Copies of this chain bind each other. A is one copy, B any other.
């Protein structure tokens, strides 16, 4: 089609920008560009897509598309679906923002918080009761960090396990 309606063109441009930039942002939060782009693509797609469509839309290799689709399935941000009479695997994104948030919070906790807590625990334990100025300073700092991070972790769990509506109520209290 040579001539495209202005509205269609606008949408296409906006969507392309969204996908490209979401990919760039992804690298900021420690997920690779392709993974973030696929996520953006599927979140804003009106229908499920197969691997080849993803490859085509983002101009990436099959291996790259495949790896990142699987990773997104692992996270729970997208799911594989089967279409009757089609041998290919299709994928669709979770679109509920609260769900997306809780999934990401859970994953971040697993990768960023839990190892930190484990380390802090270990270091606090190993230096408990040691004498001397240096040991005191070290132990206190590590202990303080441990308590704070453990606490923050519990809070995060609590909030992430709420129903969307309840979380909104809580937020209203805080902001109000």
Binding site for B on A (CB under 8 A): 7-8, 10-11, 13-15, 17-18, 21-22, 25, 28-30, 43-46, 95, 97-98, 101, 111-112, 115-116, 119, 122-123, 126-127, 130-135, 137-138, 141-142, 144-145, 147-148, 151-152, 154-155, 158-159, 170-171, 174-175
- When the two chains form the complex, which single residue of B7, B25, B116 contacts A119, counting CB atoms closer than 8 Å? B25
The answer on a CB contact under 8 Å between B11 and A101 is no
Further pairs besides A17-B119, A18-B123, A29-B30: 6, Cβ < 8 Å: A14-B138, A15-B138, A25-B115, A44-B142, A155-B171, A155-B174
The answer on a CB contact under 8 Å between A130 and B11 is yes
Q: Are A171 and B159 CB-contacts (below 8 A) given A14-B138, A46-B133, A137-B44?
A: no
What residues on B are CB-neighbors of A14 within 8 Å? Answer: 123, 126-127, 138
Quote the shortest CB–CB distance from A137 to chain B (angstroms).
Answer: 4
Quote the shortest CB–CB distance from A107 to chain B (angstroms).
Answer: 11
What residues on B are CB-neighbors of A18 within 8 Å? Answer: 119, 123, 138, 142
What residues on B are CB-neighbors of A137 within 8 Å? Answer: 44-46
What residues on B are CB-neighbors of A155 within 8 Å? Answer: 171, 174-175
